[in-house]
Structure 1
Amino acid sequence: MVAASPAAAAAMRKSFLVPEIKPLDQYDFSRARSSASLAWVLAKGYGGAEHIPAELHEPFYTDQYEQEHMKPPLIRLLLSSDIYCRAWRQALPPGPDGASAPKDNAALLQLLARRGLVPTFQDKPIKEADLHHKPIRL
């Protein structure tokens, strides 16, 4: 077996971080779900976990009252269509119609609807005709 160089070993340790293991009675399932969803969309949007900007590596902060919040740069990113359109380009191949990647939220919602992934708002499907006539607030 060939020994890895110290730099390679350090790089391997960085990429295989083990999350803190907590007992089930202390585990926050909703935070874990949010963290996993954020990690996925950021990794897809930026082309891999190693390309995510440093200010987004830890998406939450705790205020002086011990309340946890999302960091403002992440909130701004999630409110824009940029990260979702980038994630689409990275995660899914172009469709059979040769359509390019969406440029904004309306184009992304239309593309999802054409592919049979009907977006919903408060458990009601969004009709493609609605996308053209009125703004959607998610």
Structure 2
Amino acid sequence: VFQAKQRASVKWLLSKAYNNRVPEKLREPYYRDHEEQEHLKPQIVHALSNAELYCLALANIYSDPNYHNQNHYGILQALARKGVYVTEQNNTQLTETILIQNSPLKMSAHMAVIEGLMVLYAKEVVTGDRVVSAIRRFDPQAEVDVPSDHEKGLLLWINHASHALIAKIQSEDGAGDKTRLPELPAAKDFQSLCDGVGLAAVVAFYCPGELNWMEIRVSKRPSVADALHNLSLVHAFCVKCLPYSIFHMQPEDVTYMRGSMKQNLVVFLADMYNVLEIHPAKCVRYPGEERAMQYLDGT
């Protein structure tokens, strides 16, 4: 699990540091030695130990070049000013001395910093007001309270998008066959998203041309195969339809998600929210838009 988390976290950091244009030679952050052991590429080790990747990521998240040329202490201070406090798992205080080590790199310390950046990014992208206005746009009748944090905001968004998908299917089918309607489970917490149903439903709602809701496998007791199928649909959508990579995990990482990978899922959802809501990818079709497009095309 730690290896999967580490890989996904480093890939996410690289995507933010390079503004979604990761150099070819760093897209796979690891290399294998002659004993088939995986190691982080030296260039990445160097860029973590001198804080370069953190500076680049913060500068891109905030579009602010003042974050360049900070040391680790400066990065930790910047996070703290934004309300994100980074400590290692055993509550050890992180210091410059620990973070600049590079032979070997103290990976657990760097994972804590990357996780801090993930929290910060998700907080900045998924604000309560944004979530509420998004939901009101596709569900004007919804009574929505402003969520208290970005995690609750993401779950609220997924739930409302799932409801809106059902409503959309009903309106398209008229009063037709109610038995065909999927029963989409509520997203109560992030663990409940591991069957892939909620994630696939969000994609089917925003991008019906790319993911047909009928492809989603919904069952009362989803099997691992069902979950992998749904998550593979989402993964394929991300690879094929989005302008850059946001699915830094593997579908099976989500299916078997342990608590330690929760932050990777949260940040994936924040990225998803960004490409579907804030800076919509070309494939996004807001409700009602399809018909408008048809009239424009004269079809």
Q: TM-score range by the shorter chain?
A: 0.5 to 0.7
CA contact 1:102–1:108 (8 Å) conserved in 2: no
- Aligned pair count reads 97
Aligned to 1:103: 69
Equivalent residue in structure 1 for 2:11, among 39, 46, 54: 39
4+ runs deviating over 6 angstroms:
none
Equivalent residue in structure 1 for 2:91, among 102, 114, 123: 123
Q: Does 1:113 align with 2:80?
A: yes
Q: Does 1:52 align with 2:22?
A: yes
How far apart are 1:103 and its partner, in Å?
Answer: 2.9
Deviations 1:8-40 (A, max 9, x none): xxxxxxxxxxxxxxxxxxxxx222211110111
Alpha carbons of structure 1 residues 125 and 79: separation in structure 2 relative to 1, 3 Å:
closer
Unaligned runs of 5+ in 2: 100-299
SS at match of 1:73: helix
How far apart are 1:115 and its partner, in Å?
Answer: 2.0
How far apart in 1 are the matches of 2:4 and 2:78? 29
Identity value in percent: 32
Larger radius of gyration: 2
Bigger helix share? 2
In the superposition, the TM-score normalised over structure 2's length comes to 0.29
How far apart in 1 are the matches of 2:93 and 2:47? 25
Aligned to 1:68: 38
In the superposition, the TM-score normalised over structure 1's length comes to 0.59
Unaligned runs of 5+ in 1: 1-28, 95-99
Alpha carbons of structure 1 residues 66 and 89: separation in structure 2 relative to 1, 3 Å:
same
Higher relative contact order (CA 8 A, sep 6+): 2
